[in-house]
Chains A and B, each alone.
Chain A
Amino acid sequence: MSTGTRLAGWAFAGPALIVIALFFAVPVLAALALSLTDFDIYALSDLDNLRFVGIDNYVNLLHEPLFWKALGNTFYFVIVGVPLSIAVSLGAALLLQSKLGRFKPFFRTAFFAPVVTTVVAVAVIWRYLFHTKYGLVNWGLGGIGIDPIDWLGDPQWAMPTIILFAVWKNFGYNMIIFIAGLQAIPEDLYEAARIDGASFWGQFRHVTLPLLGPVLLLVGILTMAGYFQLFAEPYVMTQGGPLESTVSVLYLMYEQGFKWWNLGAASAVAFVLFVLMAGITSGLLWFARRRGAE
């Protein structure tokens, strides 16, 4: 490669690299450095009060039962929430693509509406819907003979309620991506399948799903990265309660960092979450590459 070509290459990649270095690498390294100290309000008043603590923040974190609980809650949310969210999005997209559908623009808007509403405003309504005594949900369940459930007050039910809330709030976004993906599938493939006698289910499994592969991967990664950062929903619905059953890793970080100003410990939480998400996303990409979906 001539020097000219190499220079041109760097010139084209340069702006992007600078942006990545400035807004990604530097903050990540700064967070790593901060996580090795015990930066808090005392250090804010006088830097002499800052101690280098090595990996103590991480060791403390791993010995903290609440961290493991938060990690467990976050995984619960991701493992149940992500597949459910994708399934609902795909289902809604298929319904909207179906030739039998009516009032499609209306439903498309209605399904997308939760995405653009404010989480705080919607949470107020959801809290009433899921109110133990006056909630519409318990009233409906009462109609079919099911005893009232303490949705947000029972540690067993709080996380499922949060998952339902998050899925409802977010499925419209993925639905739009799926609709775009579905529209890209050539109609003649379905026609050929029908001529071969494939049922609706057969068409879905052997035509729709394989051709949606790359879109599914994209949606899967985006949703998972988003769901790992669970924060707003428990913050507005339960404040981490009851009995810390809805504390997520990010919620833990928020409390450490912005409520108690323990920026050292909070950075350690953030870094653990970063490593975890980077690892899982790479794993997913590796898996997809092996299956040839990319």
Chain B
Amino acid sequence: MAGQAARCFRLALLALLVFSLAGCARKTDSREVVRFWAMGFEGEIVAQLIPEFERTHPGIRIQLQQLPWTAAHEKLLTAFAGDATPDICQLGNTWIPEFAALNALEPLDSRIAGSKAIDVADFFPGIWDTNVIDGTVYGVPWYVDTRLPYYRRDLLKAAGFDKPPADWAEWRKAMAAIKAQAGPTKYSILLPLNEFEPMLALALQQEEELLREGGRFGNFRSEGFRRTLTFYKEMFDQQWAPPVTNIQISNVWDEFDKGFYSFYISGPWNIAEFKKRIPAARQDEWMTMPLPGPNGPGASIAGGSSLVLFRSSTQKPAAWAFLEYLSSAQTQEKFQALTGDLPPRRSVWNVPRLAKDPYALAFRDQLERAKPTPKVPEWERIATEMRLVTEQMVNGQINVEEAATELDRRADKILEKRRWMLDKAVAK
């Protein structure tokens, strides 16, 4: 027993020595530390791109912190309140107005103007625009996301259509024909009632802005928005769409495969899911298509994530160097290969892997018509109200006119503080 104790003691001593040596080693690392926060899947993958940057920039060390998406917003706000924001961060592009309003983000215009790696003209304009608040650029798009329909080629063909519809009129005909074939237990399209995105994408296709007077009031009683509401309601009234949520469907891919619906408006991540979940023998029955608009191919949501620098950072030049590295066409291409995310730069789309992917083609086309949502911090809340009110409309509790009026009322109430802030700024 005594021998064992002595051995333990010696081991502990050795461990202590090793740890203190390691501590010394860490202290001698005199490189500048850049704190980088990234979220979810991209946050995991980006770790593989850091060694290359550190090799070419020997004076900089990147300290990566990965956040889960569900906690990211809260963590960023708390970090802001506690003066603990990172130097560079991934930010969902709909969050940019909010953090710009907090005055937390560093304006990037002069840095971009002097940058060789970042060529503004190479980025899709709608995506780039989501980063511009009142004429100032606060972020550089990292990867993009937009919504468009996945459709069943075979069912569309069986209903008598050789190519996917390009505008609402054709789409109506196709949905009616599919429904006639499918019978009462199946449908033409899935518009999940717990998502605001499909409705929002159709609303962005109209010419009128969703908020008026610089985001002071809702503009939901406009001609265009009511046209979208009418079309949306029609899809449920005609029984082309089932009045259900995603949660009730449980497995959207399986139901799509079973033909419960033939159109499903979703984002690029589902390309990989459909490839994985639909049996190999039936892989060629599905395809993606640009979102039909009121007259010809229409706009859709400009989503995705951007990279931003925080105003309070003390390492801005180093952080900017890292941002340039991540945004360069070369790194973007590697990142695309690793994640499958859609790149925001047109030049990256020319690599054969993407240019020849038939499923990605529609997204490439759609991205040229991606349109930002209103850039006010309150937008997500207004979009949620939009979902709730349209759900009431679909269930027949209110009609189109009432829904538009109610939405304007709710939006105006939510924007009250913003109006007060804007008026206060003018008074100064």
Which residues of A approach B to under 8 Å, CB–CB? Answer: 38, 40-42, 44-46, 49, 51, 127-128, 131-132, 134, 150, 152-153, 237-239, 241-244, 258-261
Contacts and interface: CB of A to CB of B under 8 A. Distances in A.
Interface centre among A128, A242, A244 (most CB of B within 10 A): A242
Given A127-B247, A239-B194, A261 B395 contact: no
Interface of B: 74, 77, 80-81, 98, 101-104, 193-194, 243-245, 247-248, 250, 377, 381, 388, 391-392, 395, 397, 417, 420-421
Given A44-B77, A44-B102, A258-B74, A132 B248 contact: yes
Contact of B193 (A242, A258, A259): A242
B391 A41 contact: no
9 closest cross-chain pairs (CB), A and B: A45-B102, A153-B248, A260-B381, A45-B103, A153-B244, A44-B81, A131-B250, A42-B421, A152-B248
A45 B421 contact: no
Contacts of B417: 38, 40, 42
A242 B391 contact: yes
Contacts of A49: 421
Task: State the majority secondary structure of interface residues on A.
Answer: loop
Contact of A42 (B81, B101, B397): B101
Contact of A241 (B104, B194, B397, B420): B194
Contacts of A45: 80, 101-104
B104 to A, nearest CB: 7
A241 B193 contact: yes
A241 B381 contact: no
B252 to A, nearest CB: 13
Most chain B CB within a 10 A radius of its CB, from A40, A45, A131: A45
B247 A41 contact: no
Given A41-B377, A44-B80, A128-B250, A153 B245 contact: yes
A49 B377 CA distance: 15
A246 to B, nearest CB: 12
Contacts of B244: 153
B388 A244 contact: yes
Contacts of A238: 247
Contact of A239 (B74, B247, B395): B247
A127 B194 contact: no
Nearest to B102: A45
A23 B381 CA distance: 32
20 contacts: A38-B417, A40-B417, A41-B102, A42-B377, A44-B102, A45-B103, A45-B104, A51-B420, A128-B250, A134-B250, A152-B247, A153-B244, A238-B247, A242-B193, A242-B245, A242-B391, A243-B395, A244-B388, A258-B74, A260-B381
Contacts of A41: 77, 98, 101-102, 377
Contacts of A46: 103
